[in-house]
Structure 1
Amino acid sequence: MTGFHEVQFPLRLALGTSGGPVRRTDIVSLSNGRENRNARWRDSRRSYDAGSGIRSIGDLYEVLAFFEARRGGLYGFRFRDPLDWKSCAPGEAPSDMDQVIGTGDGATAVFPLVKTYGDAGGAWVRRIAKPVAGTVVVSVDGLAVDPEAYAVDVVAGTATFAAGHVPPAGAVVRAGFAFDVPVRFAIDRIDVSLAHFDAGRIPSIPLTEILP
């Protein structure tokens, strides 16, 4: 992923963030009253607004400094989705049984991290590009794998098994993790309003996901 800084938008400044997944669907109404629907995007794309509300001068300056360091929308960065940032449900802890990330064939050593959203009606598999360092745990056929047996690339979002530990054919590989969303500023201008002598607000800080 080019034009990306491996830094995270400050968590305490992201309180009050709104947003979530966005999809694009073409809907054509037919003369008989029925519809034709077509997905324009294969994957959803997340969009957020991290508008700060009332903040101290120090917090406002921190946002401005972060914006300037990214040069507006030029460089991407990590952002913690306040609702969806783990391989499991919000109230649970990541487990090495959370997500199926592949099936061994005896030769493949690199497995991209993914998260599946699904129910009886269907499923969608999301590529996880920015796992959080130190949070990834892996299992093969239900048995936890020694962390020394694999390496995690937190920039590319992959787990690579070391020689001698490659999953055998038919073995189900699972993983658990925390992750960030790769985003960029959706604007090249930040407007700051000083409501008081020592406090103010930034009404809107729109962010958009960068797809891997």
Structure 2
Amino acid sequence: MTQFLEELFPENVDYGSGFAAGYKNWIVRTLGGDEYRSQQHPFIQATLNVDFERQTNQVVSDVIDLNNRAGGTLCGFRVFHPVDHSTNDYRGTPTAFDQHLPEAVVSGYQLTRWYGDYTDPTCRRRRIRKPRSGTVLVGVAGQVYPAAQWSVDYTTGIVTWAANKSRSITAITQASAAVLTVGSNTFTAGESVVVSGVAGMTEINGVRALITARTATTITVAINSSAFSAYVSGGTVQTNPIAGEVLTAGCKYDLPMRFSDDLGGTFSNWDTIDASGIGLLEILNPDPQ
């Protein structure tokens, strides 16, 4: 049986519903009154206390149905958090440059929301396991990375690169839009490429740009090389990121949560139900393997 239902908890909660963020810390107090604090792990775990007061039968029935399908506290589901649902300042419109994109444990790159300096190993963070469909943007080296060159699993938040295209360079022009001779190739206009390993025209190494035109043996890139040193030899041009390029991403997301306790409510009249104090707890590993 699956332990996660890819469906959304009803969003029309009442004002007065509560939320909190939990942190796993150890606090030891000595007989002398001193405290010694340490962090168990850096991942934030949200809780919600949801109210559905004076709602119609249909609204509360949807919650009851979800509770039954989930088996109470057994299975998780998506929840829209009204305060924290975007990589851009909690509720803003996402951009490709909102958050650092770290490597995932197994493969690919894990969408992550950082609450501080990502270079600090203790920085509080949230692994975005349930991004909202169609909202993910990826940046490489400060540029929007074309959507055709990556994909995202909207059930895990893992970003992977498309198959790499790479060719050896045999010549580069000094021009307002550099022309690279690369031999027979499958590059297409609009792809993002990066140059590395060039001798002579070293200024172009590590520069990423879009392809603006191509022929059977050359590509033209949006790099002004007119003031660069003359090309001497060597070099590679490729689509996938290289070491040292900054990887970023942004998106809107739901939280994977489950019911934290049994569900209950009261009848206000024959067609109105009050359901208050419904506890929801964020799941840090919604799809355990």
Which TM-score band applies after superposition, normalised by the shorter structure?
0.7 to 0.9
Distance change in 2, residues 1:125/1:204 (3 Å): closer
Write the deviation string for residues 10-61 of structure 1: whole angstroms up to 9, x where unpaired.
Answer: 2124765311211243333334442212334442321111221221122121
Determine the C-alpha separation between the residues in 1 that align with 2:88 and 2:9: 22
Where does residue 88 of structure 1 map in the other structure?
88
2:73 and 2:97 map into 1 onto residues whose CA distance is 37
Counterpart mapping for 1:49-128 below 5 A: 49-102=49-102, 110-118=108-116, 123-128=123-128
Match of 1:48 in 2: 48
Name the stretch that deviates more: 75-84 or 122-131. Answer: 122-131
Q: % of aligned pairs identical?
A: 29
Q: Which amino acid aligns with 1:26?
A: W
How far, CA to CA, are the matches of 2:273 and 2:134 in structure 1? 36
CA distance in 1, matches of 2:32, 2:277: 43
For the 8 Å contact 1:128–1:157, the answer to whether it is kept is yes
SS of the residue 1:123 aligns to: coil
Give the structure-1-normalised TM-score.
0.87
Note if contact 1:138-1:174 (Cα within 8 Å) is conserved in structure 2.
yes
* One-letter amino acid of the structure 2 residue matched with residue 170 of structure 1: G
Mapped to 1, the partners of 2:242 and 2:258 lie a distance apart of 39
Within 5 A, what are the aligned runs for 1:23-38?
23-38=23-38
Q: Distance in 1 between matches of 2:76 and 2:130?
A: 12
Aligned length: 205
Contact 1:184 1:209 in 2 (8 A): yes
Provide the residue aligned with 1:211 in structure 2.
284
* Cα-to-partner distance string for 1:121-152 (whole Å, 9 max, x where unaligned): 97323211111110000110011111111111
Q: Does 1:181 align with 2:179?
A: no
| Structure 1: gaps (5+ residues) | 104-108
Partner Cα distance (2:4, 2:113) in 1: 22
Q: Contact between 2:42 and 2:123, CA under 8 Å: does it hold in 1? A: no
Q: Unaligned 5+ residue runs, structure 2?
A: 165-238
| Residues 86 and 79 of structure 1, relative CA distance in 2, 3 Å threshold | same
**CA separation of 1:64/1:22 partners in 2, compared to 1, >3 Å: closer, same or farther?**
same
CA distance in 2, matches of 1:183, 1:206: 10
Using the size of structure 2 for normalisation, the TM-score is 0.65
Match of 2:145 in 1: 145
> Are the counterparts in 2 of residues 13 and 59 from structure 1 also a CA contact under 8 Å?
no
Q: Which residue of 2 aligns with 1:201?
A: 274
Contact kept? 1:116, 1:126, Cα under 8 Å: yes
Which structure exhibits the higher relative contact order, with contacts defined as CA atoms closer than 8 Å and separated by 6 or more residues?
A: 1
* Match of residue 171, structure 1, among 230, 234, 245: 245
Deviating more after overlay: 198-207 vs 24-33: 24-33
Deviation per residue, 1:42-94 (Å, 9 max, x gap): 42321111221221122121211121122212211011111000001145210
Contact conserved, 1:51 with 1:202, CA < 8 A, in 2? yes
Contact in 1 for aligned 2:22/2:47 (Cα 8 Å): yes
Quote the Cα distance in structure 2 between the aligned partners of 1:171 and 1:14: 45
